[in-house]
Amino acid sequence: MHPAAEDPQTRSALTGYQAGALRWLAGGLIAVVLGVLLAAAAVAIAEDSGRRLPLAGLLVVVLVFVGSVAAVAGAGALARYHRWQRALRTVPWQTGMLRIAGPAVLAFEPEGYDELDPTADPVRLRLTSTAVWRTRAVQQLHDAVVRAAPVGPREWVLTADGVPTVYGARAVRRH
């Protein structure tokens, strides 16, 4: 078995995930810089003319706060990308059927899984992303053949043919 990272579709999907992470990081940093520049411009205008800019303070706070959150999200996604890429260099993809049990609740049935076998259990997963569009994209893979690989003790990565990215999920413990 070849490591998952050697697959051209995997490299493409990881590149798509990395591009999204970089967009969030860069967009967040740009928003923070714009907020700081707006603050400096508002202070300079107020000092020179004695007039205050209406709503400038609120806009500065929003730009800096939202930009900071976006930058942190992008940095986290970039860290996940590097962790996933490193793990996928050592593990092969497992193909199987994806079943959707709820908005972010999944069951991965590896190839050869027999639902009539009482000792066989699917891999129960919960999506790590809370983005609605990512959740809906995974929901569209219900009953589809997907590729999945463990990238940590309780973390899995999913993708499928024609899907331009990878999705992260955590293994759910049975109660």
Residues 57 and 114 in one domain: no
Per the structure, the complete domain to which residue 154 belongs is given by 94-171
27 and 100 co-located in one domain: no
Total number of domains constituting the chain? 2
So what's the pLDDT on residue 174?
Answer: 66
Q: Is 36 in the same domain as 77?
A: yes
pTM above 0.85, yes or no: no
| Residue 103: pLDDT band with limits 50, 70, 90 | confident
Tell how strand 105-110 and strand 167-171 pair up.
Answer: unpaired
Q: Cβ atoms within 10 A of the Cβ of 102, count?
A: 10
pLDDT bracket for residue 92 (50, 70, 90): very high
Instruction: DSSP letter for 50, please.
Output: S
